[in-house]
Structure 1
Amino acid sequence: MLVQTPSKILKSDYRFWDLSSSAAVADVYRNDRKESSAALALCEVLEFVIYKDSQNLVTLKANQKVIFLPLYGKVRINDFKVIETGEVVVLESAENQNVMIKNVLANEDADVLIIKFNKKITENSYRINQLDLEIRNKLNFIDLGFNFPGFIGVFDGREEGRYILKEKNNGIFGMVINGAFEFQNRLIENRDAILIWDIEELEFEALSENALILFFEIPE
Structure 2
Amino acid sequence: MNKLRNLAFAAAGLTLLAGCTNNPYTGEREAGKAGIYGGVGAVTGAVIGAATSSKKDRAKGALIGAAVGGAAGGGYGYYVDTQEAKLRQTLQGTGVQVQRNGDDLKLIMPGNITFASNSSDISSGFYPTLNSLVTVFKEFDKNGIDIVGHTDSTGSMELNQNLSNRRAQSVASYLTSNGVPAQRISSYGAGPSQPIASNASEAGRAQNRRVEINLRPQ
- Identify the TM-score tier after normalising by the shorter chain: under 0.3
RCO higher in structure (CA 8 A, sep ≥6): 1
Which structure features the higher share of strand residues? 1
Which structure features the higher share of helix residues? 2
Q: Please identify the structure whose Cα radius of gyration is greater.
A: 2
TM-score (norm 2): 0.22
TM-score (norm 1): 0.22
